[in-house]
Homo-oligomer: A and B are copies of this chain.
């Protein structure tokens, strides 16, 4: 007979395991930690969870997460440059760009990418919103800040094609060595991109 935790614990372990990056051991540690919490704190956690779907929606202008029925923080900010539109796949990528502190334009969150191998054709992507933004005539440059893997490149090619007839400039971030990189730990494709994009030392 395989020894198990009581059923209420096993069900929660199984639920926590469904999160990305959480394995059996991690889920066990989390549920065991939970058993040390005050019941009121667990109730509060449960309430926050159950309320989540009703409180969160997508910003109608960019597709980012926002309070339900409202525009997101960035689209509501009049100081951002509406002429620059940075296209990202996910909220996590949006936050990565934001936290760099090097971008003051607006975003469009695609909500996914095109994956020919997984038959994802772009039907689920936020393309209508992208077109509406371009058609508004205020965007002068679209920065395709997509992943530099196969699906990210497929999506970039698809979008560049879609935007071909519009007057906006379509760019992508530079490929090259990451800041502080030691060449001995950098992969061949990155070194290739860094060498072909090399610039004069000034």
- Nearest-neighbour CB distance to chain B for A81, whole angstroms, equals 15
Contacts of A65 in B (CB 8 A): 5-6, 9, 35
Once the chains bind, are A29 and B34 in contact (CB under 8 Å)?
no
Most B CB within 10 A of own CB, among A4, A26, A48, A72: A48
Partner of A19, one of B30, B42, B92, B95: B30
Give the segment of A52-60, A152-160, A165-173 that binds chain B. Answer: A52-60
Which of chain B's residues has its CB closest to A66's CB? B6
Interface string of A18-33 (1 = CB under 8 A from B): 1111100010111011
Once the chains bind, are B35 and A29 in contact (CB under 8 Å)?
no
Q: Does A121 count as interface, using CB distance less than 8 angstroms?
A: no
Once the chains bind, are A8 and B43 in contact (CB under 8 Å)?
no
Q: Does A73 count as interface, using CB distance less than 8 angstroms?
A: yes
Partner of A50, one of B43, B52, B72: B43
Q: Does A7 count as interface, using CB distance less than 8 angstroms?
A: yes
Once the chains bind, are A33 and B20 in contact (CB under 8 Å)?
yes
With contacts A35-B56, A56-B6 known, is A48 near B11, CB below 8 A?
A: yes
Contacts of A18 in B (CB 8 A): 33
Q: Does A197 count as interface, using CB distance less than 8 angstroms?
A: no
Partner of A6, one of B43, B50, B55: B55
Within 8 A of B (CB), among A58-98: 65-67, 72-74, 77, 90-92, 95, 98
15 contacts between A and B (CB under 8 A): A3-B74, A3-B95, A7-B55, A8-B67, A18-B33, A19-B33, A19-B34, A28-B92, A34-B49, A35-B53, A43-B50, A45-B49, A46-B46, A46-B47, A46-B49
Which residues from chain A sit less than 8 Å from chain B, CB to CB? 1, 3-9, 11-12, 15, 18-22, 26, 28-30, 32-35, 39, 42-56, 65-67, 72-74, 77, 90-92, 95, 98-99
